[in-house]
Structure 1
């Protein structure tokens, strides 16, 4: 090979190595800048120091262990050169030609380093295990088998398993490496083929094997601790067989392992291979007998013939610890009489509940938002959130969604680098409708929305721009030479521009940073573009799920963040959970964990991108330990702005998990639990043409025995394999009651209609069924909304909205409302009409109080639809009041309608 070719190869190696270093370095520096931007650089430092420190410690341990063992082989290798002769063995040839003490030392160093690097992945991701061991927090609950605090199993046992795995790997690796050199250079002494009482290779190798058996004895003790999470018995946790067969077996095997270690070590001096063979065979036989055969026999012949008597104590442990792990032990149980004694006067007293019944199903409503409020094709509403807001003196349940900019929906001709990175950078505002009201055209009554943002309910939003959201996937650059697109104006293709003035983003104020981010995002235009200025900033990790996981990946995050308007700004609230699969005796869910707490609420500013973590369950040991590892990460709930605290919600995902466990674990009697005599299921409803388990739903109502209405999350239960209702679970959301769980059980001496029975009665009611069948053809489709079971006083009211959608249209219309009470079931155009049909003329049929204000400002195509909706609503209310003989109310509505029309005319002239 010529010198020129060698130079070329060296240059290529240098270039590729440089590119690799640049790539890795750019990722690190981009994260370094970003963590500084969000104020969590200490979290990154803690993570890096812990991870690198553990990796260095593991590499050092393996290197020293291998190297010391290899050094010990010096005297046992028999490296004396052989006299010259015609035929040499491989060992004689290597010793005579190549092997010197200096070369062998270098080889040992290289082998030790390679072995250490080869086994260093054992430390990958284990730094948190080590930190949790060092910062462990007690749970204050001890397991009944070993009487150890639950914190031992959650924080310490994983660390012991990590150490055990490292020791076993080190011993096996050292035995393989040293054994290779002994076999290569001195096989006779290793295998005991030469006479003599003392053989260094045998002593060395036997010591390693003996140490392996000693570590294995410790491993059996760890396996004994793992029995508290055994899946063997009728319930999760140590069962009769585990305790009376496996536990003694592990203890005996630990003793056998220690005996084998002594025998093997002594054999290095006695050189009696029979003893070794007997010891190893005894260990294998003991393992097969104690771990495989004996447990099977105990299970088959002692447990199965009298299973409940054997397993009863362990069933009680499982019930007790499962209820603790999922917070079921804190549920307050009350009786709900479910009487059929509602009167119009009762309905009048519960008017706040009736005014806030959620008639809109989020599935068809999302299509409506898309059609009426996206305005332009590049805007999207990812999902619909449910919340409550106070307007004036009344609290109302609303549905809302953020209007985000989806760059994938930009026209092809507009998908240039400048447009995607510097022009179309953010979404704008939100849409919001009352959950309980419908326009005469069957559409939601929007109280906020449009471009520019406006609210007919007085909702203040000073900063409507959304730079951080659920659809903000890629990075953008602000502060360029040209302004950013803000929102389209009413004049054809015109639009309004803006410039980002928020705190988010990393400054691109020099070529060094531009070079770093060009490598980080594999985009040379960051380095070459003339549109950047010294004031330019790059905003990345803008997707809120990615953003919070980047900071704190050691929490599990809810799949459904929700938007909140507070203090004139937009925020995302995201629930975060601490969980583990190490809780003793607790039944795991399908996802694998067997302990969960909603310990943390995360708040993300949609404009600035700031992220704050607030502790809502200070008694959770997992979050306490994380708080010790990352000081200053979590803030107390009291530090959250009061206006945001008003929008805290108990997460539906958590309540669904707790409900699944409660379906069996409401039975605290071991006999009932074993026989599943009172097992429940989550109630089902019809979604489309399929039966599905109901999702937890939010509603405003007054709980039995309470003075004020409050926002709750609830879910009904039915008996297993039956459809009548037996109970409903409620989670409270307001003020000091946040997080309290209430279980209301129904009388067992009579049957209460379940949701599927109401669905069947809808299909069987001739007038309703005929109408739905008629609509569900001739180019239209009937969509059944969520069936809501609503406790009113001591009775139950069932409400289901009916939507109608034309096949060629994506705009569902809410056309009918079905209400069931007792043996009565009716369908009417409105909820008020259905209540009147059931309870008579004295039922409170007055529509919910208006919270809207006449639209102001120039009349544009963006707010024309809202103005027309408001006019229709006022007219519809006036007609309802006219039918009731409420002349004063009729006159008031007509007066408001006249004022609205007059203002629309004036704005049109402008």
Structure 2
């Protein structure tokens, strides 16, 4: 009996652990399905799997082949023989080590590079080429990041293998007191030493080939040089550094063969000479560049740097979309007349006299109604009022549960009863009432049900302050808005939310760490849980590769409330373009519209 109980408990614990491990994925799957972006969610996993599986297989066979060849050649060089039982045990250990290492490397590689691979594969030309290398801007924005990352990753692996090879050699030869680098290179000690020398010859050659590629990358990246009078390659970069990097890169290729050949032939002098010459070239580049900059460029800066300043100006204007500006002359006139005012009545009528901060303070003081409502910020917009386009301040009355007293912040209040904000306020930017307060166009609760600003669904389930998940469609009604000494109630009838089936109740209980999902009598099979209600977090979850404006604004249209958020495509990889706040290319490519009631 005790054994059966132990088995049952073990199964339950293991099941809960599996659900906990998979809960995030399953919930995300259901959420993306709810918002009709399941293809976006699955795309990343499809790409990752497409990269992970072949990379794992390739890395596994490379590692196991390397280790087995390493063992085979070492045994031959040392005249050692191992029996079949030992060999079988070693093969099993090699397989386990290879699987673990392959999994770690392939998973890391996939997580780091999957998006860069997507960018590389799906790159689109900008139609603009840099003036130095004549590459399209897409090469720098979409392709170079992957090339750089893989190159430096490979260099790290090679350095690691060199260190490991040397460590293994010296550990195996620690009994010998006559170990020296010279004898190691020359292979004077033993066959084992010769074997390790051959391993190092291959790794050394690969190291130098990668070093050559790194200097080629450094040459290409001169389009981001900060050395000159403006961002981008300068006179010195183009006439000195570029050529020096090319020479170093080519020399590293030649040096890779020299080093490999020298180690195989047990010659140390060519290796030392080659390494020293590379160091001399690198130092020489710094010295020559400094001399040219100091004695040639600085005394003649305007003449020498003018072409590169022109590149900077032209490409900065293109990168920030400022290259098609129409320039007009406006003659200043100081004799303002009544006729001028009449001609520009719409402008004069919208001259703002109220301020954002003061208006927000007033909204919160007299329109928040209850302490659990809050106006987060004030936005400026234009609406057609009585046939005239008028500038207005507008703000959403959002739910702020955190502002309630601690005793009221129990699970039911936070997730079942207080679920949404309510309506908006709107005031003129250029009018005040008799008491000096803003003149309101929309105010108070309940929201208007008729007129130009009627709102059919004033409930705000998605906004800037909404962080908690809420459960709708429960047995209880939700608090809609305060009414007299009590509250008006509401039941959500929108499209948002994930159905709380028995399995989902268990899933959310484990994921959210709250067994109220299971124990609450208010939750039924028709109940739904609404997630990701903060609109910025919501759209970031769907499209995290876009940079979003930090100030969404709410609008009214056809009886509904919508949030509008500007999305920007940006990069810091545009050649010659002057960086501003960490980016040197930007386009307002996207307008995101989020229904404040349904979240779609």
Conserved? CA contact 2:466–2:533, under 8 Å: yes
Is the contact made by 2:447 and 2:454 (CA closer than 8 Å) also made in structure 1? no
Tell me whether 1:296 sits opposite 2:290 in the alignment: yes
Partner residue in 2 for 1:904: none
What stretches of structure 2 of length at least 5 have no aligned partner?
A: none
Q: Please give the residue correspondences for 1:165-314 in structure 2 after superposition, counting only pairs within 5 Å.
A: 165-183=152-170, 191=185, 192-194=187-189, 199-290=194-285, 292-314=286-308
Mapped partners of 1:317, 1:261: distance in 2: 37
Match of 2:538 among 524, 540, 547: 547
- Could you tell me how far apart the structure 1 residues matched to 2:112 and 2:98 are? 23
1:107 to 80, 85, 93: 93
Among candidates 390, 402, 421, match of residue 415 of structure 2? 421
How far apart in 1 are the matches of 2:259 and 2:95?
29
3-state SS of 1:243 partner: helix
Per-residue deviation at 1:100?
3.1
Q: CA deviation at 1:339?
A: 0.9
Match of 1:49 in 2: 46
- Corresponding residue for 1:524? 515
**What is the CA distance between 1:382 and its match in structure 2?**
0.4
In the alignment, the residues of structure 2 paired with residue 388 and residue 512 of structure 1 have an alpha-carbon distance, to the nearest angstrom, of 48
Q: Deviations over 1:227-254 (max 9, x none)?
A: 1011111110011111122111111111
- CA separation of 1:171/1:111 partners in 2, compared to 1, >3 Å: closer, same or farther? farther
1:146-178 Cα offsets, whole Å, 9 max, x none, are 001111101111111122123223333343444
Q: Deviations over 1:581-621 (max 9, x none)?
A: 1000001113x1110110000000000010xxxxxxxxxxx
Asked if the contact 2:223–2:233 (Cα under 8 Å) also holds between the matched residues in 1, the reply is yes
What is the CA distance between 1:342 and its match in structure 2?
1.5
The one-character-per-residue Cα deviations of 1:305-349 (angstroms, maximum 9, x if unpaired) are: 222222111111111111111111122222222211221122122
Task: Classify 1:272/1:14 alpha carbon distance in 2 versus 1 (closer, same or farther; 3 Å).
Answer: farther
Pairwise CA distance, 1:513: 0.6
Q: Whole-Å Cα distance in 1 between the matches of residues 413 and 425 of structure 2?
A: 25
- Which residue does the alignment assign to 1:536? 527
Whether the aligned pair in 1 keeps the contact of 2:77 and 2:192 (CA below 8 Å) is no
Structure-2 separation of matches of 1:530 and 1:295: 76
Higher strand share: 1
Give the aligned partner of residue 60 of structure 2.
63
Matched, 1:568 2:565: no
Higher helix share: 2
1:26-52 Cα deviation digits (max 9, x unpaired): 111111110000010100111122234
3-state SS of the aligned residue for 1:285?
A: helix
**Deviation digits for residues 263-312 of structure 1 (CA, Å, limit 9, x no counterpart):** 1121243211222222222222222222x222222222222222222211
- Residue 459 of structure 1 deviates from its aligned partner by 1.1
Q: CA RMSD in A?
A: 2.8
What TM-score, normalized by structure 2, do the two folds share? 0.92
What is the CA–CA distance in structure 2 between the aligned matches of 1:382 and 1:301, rounded to whole Å? 58
- Could you report, residue by residue, the CA deviation over 1:101-157 in whole angstroms, capped at 9, with x for unpaired residues? 333333333343444345443443421111011011000011000001111101111
Q: CA deviation at 1:186?
A: 7.6
- State the SS of the aligned residue for 2:392: strand
Kept after mapping to 2: 8 A contact 1:62/1:116 = yes
Count of matched residue positions in the alignment of Structure 1 and Structure 2: 588
Q: Distance in 2 between the 1:175 and 1:506 partners?
A: 53
Change (3 A) 1:507 1:599: same
After superposition, the Cα gap between the structure-2 partners of 1:511 and 1:165, relative to the gap in structure 1 and judged at 3 Å, is same
Are 1:479 and 2:473 matched, yes or no? yes
Q: Of the candidates 336, 343, 366, which is equivalent to residue 342 of structure 1?
A: 336
**Structure number, greater radius of gyration:** 1
Give deviations 1:87-112, integer Å, cap 9, x for gaps.
xxxxx9xx889993333333333343
2:77–2:191: 8 Å Cα contact kept in structure 1?
Answer: no
Q: Which runs of 5+ in 1 are unaligned?
A: 83-91, 611-910
Aligned match of 1:501: 493
Give the direction of change, closer, same or farther, for the CA distance of 1:96–1:56 in structure 2 (3 Å limit): closer
Contact 1:62 1:170 in 2 (8 A): no
CA contact (8 A) 2:169 2:193 kept: no
1:514-663 correspondence runs (5 A): 514-590=505-581, 592-610=582-600
TM-score, scaled to structure 1: 0.61
Change (3 A) 1:61 1:284: farther
Deviations 1:806-846 (A, max 9, x none): xxxxxxxxxxxxxxxxxxxxxxxxxxxxxxxxxxxxxxxxx
Deviations 1:183-216, CA, capped at 9 Å, x for gaps? 5558999651247899443223201210221122
